[in-house]
Amino acid sequence: MKRLALLLGVILISIVIMVFGYRSFSSHKFSGEVLQQPMKIPPIVLRSDAGPVRLEDFHGKLILLYFGYTSCPDICPTSLANIKMALSGLTPEEAAQVQVVFVSVDPARDTPEALGKYVKLFQDEFIGATGTREEIDLMTSAFGAKYKLNEHDANGNYSVDHTSFTILIDRNGYYILKFPHETTSTKMSEDLRYLIKNEMPISAQILAGPTYTPVVCAVTLIPSHVDGGEWLYQHHCAQCHGADMAGNPAWQTELQDGSHFPPPLNQTGSAWQYSEQDLINIIKEGRNLDKPIHMPAFKSTLANWEVKFIITYMKSKWDINQLNYQHGFMTLTPQATSTPAPAIPSP
Ligand code: HEC
């Protein structure tokens, strides 16, 4: 009896420590708008005065990304000045862990050289980059940013309307948060300092903001099922979802006809948020079959056990918290973000 009481006591204390530990972890209230679902950054190469730049080049640092143009009369300069002030609110060691990247949506006028000069008016370490119209469109649509080139005036000058938020990308290359234009530099510093001090695992980023109840569990994936699933995946799914399950980088963007590109099925997508039964249904019945781009039905091609093997293989790419969540061992209660979506500024 005494032993049982002792055991129960130990379990209780562990639970208290765990819950308390996670509470203090999620105690920071972000001023930026936390994305309910972080997005892996698209692998786009842009040009700067120092040569080609890719966002992946800054893996290990936080990135502040801003879309604008150098002839911008007020919004861009105030945003860049605000970012500079937010960085000066950090220690030099902390600030060195943040890379600022200014991407011009006006490549016709903003050469990489002109951009380099422009950003250095604010801080030497800032990077200014741009790309072809197509690269810029891919990138802005991936980040949910918008812009519009206005009519030329008699002198051939034109203004550009563009979204004015600052995008924050974490050390692992995930877009996790955005700062609305009106975020003060002090508030931005606080969020940056928190993210610099607290290494958030990817799963925790997904859960950033929301509170959650973790329960330790062990999901065992049978190695032979994972292997079999991999073979089946490569033969039936890889042509759309990618050999590495990364999906199409623009999977979150809705196309004009309402269809979506194939999403990732690994830990960067949202497949882990479905129950086992829902996944089976999606794979057997397909989804949005009436749309030009859709998930085909596999009920006449794959046997039930084959579908299950493929799902096991998908799970081998998820992290432990995602597995816990999918198996119902962990709950997720997202907090509504209070900050409204920033509007496109009027010219
Ligand atoms: C012809 C291309 C194509 C093939 C082949 C394909 N898919 Fe898909 N799949 C899609 C598209 C497109 C979507 C998104 C559909 C939508 O949301 O309307 C999708 C969605 C999904 C989803 C939902 C994921 C989410 O996060 O919402 C799952 C799960 C999935 N596919 C699994 C598979 C599996 C497993 C296979 C192989 C057996 C497979 N797909 C083969 C195109 C394909």
DSSP annotation of 258 reads S
168 CB neighbour count, 10 Å cutoff? 25
Q: Is the pLDDT of residue 285 over 60?
A: yes
Structure confidence at residue 14 as a pLDDT band (50, 70, 90): low
| Cα(206)–Cα(267) distance, integer angstroms | 10
| Cα(127)–Cα(118) distance, integer angstroms | 9
Handedness of CA 190, 191, 195, 196 (dihedral sign): negative
Structural domains of the chain in order of their starting residue, each with its CATH number: 33-201 (3.40.30.10), 223-329 (1.10.760.10)
Atom of ligand 1 nearest to the CA of 314: 35
Question: Tell me, what amino acid is at 90?
Answer: L
Residue whose CB lies within 8 A of the most ligand 1 atoms, among 226, 233, 295, for a mutation test: 295
How much is the pLDDT for 10? 59
Phi and psi, residue 298, nearest 5°: -110, 10
pTM: 0.50
**For residues 340 and 155, which has the higher predicted lDDT (pLDDT)?**
155
CA neighbours within 13 Å on the CB side: how many for 137? 5
- Measure 262 CA to ligand 1 centroid, in angstroms: 6
| Cα(26)–Cα(29) distance, integer angstroms | 8
- 47-73: average pLDDT: 92
How much is the pLDDT for 222? 80
| Sheet strand arrangement including 33-40 | 33-40, 174-179, 166-169, 62-68, 98-104, 127-130, 45-48, 51-54
- Ligand 1, atom 24, residue with closest C-alpha: 271
- Ligand 1, atom 40, residue with closest C-alpha: 237
Residue whose CB lies within 8 A of the most ligand 1 atoms, among 36, 232, 240, for a mutation test: 240
- The full DSSP string for 13-46 is HHHHHHHHHHHHHT----SSEEEEEEEEPP--EE
- Measure 282 CA to ligand 1 centroid, in angstroms: 8
Atom of ligand 1 nearest to the CA of 310: 35
Atom of ligand 1 nearest to the CA of 279: 29
Mean pLDDT of the chain: 83
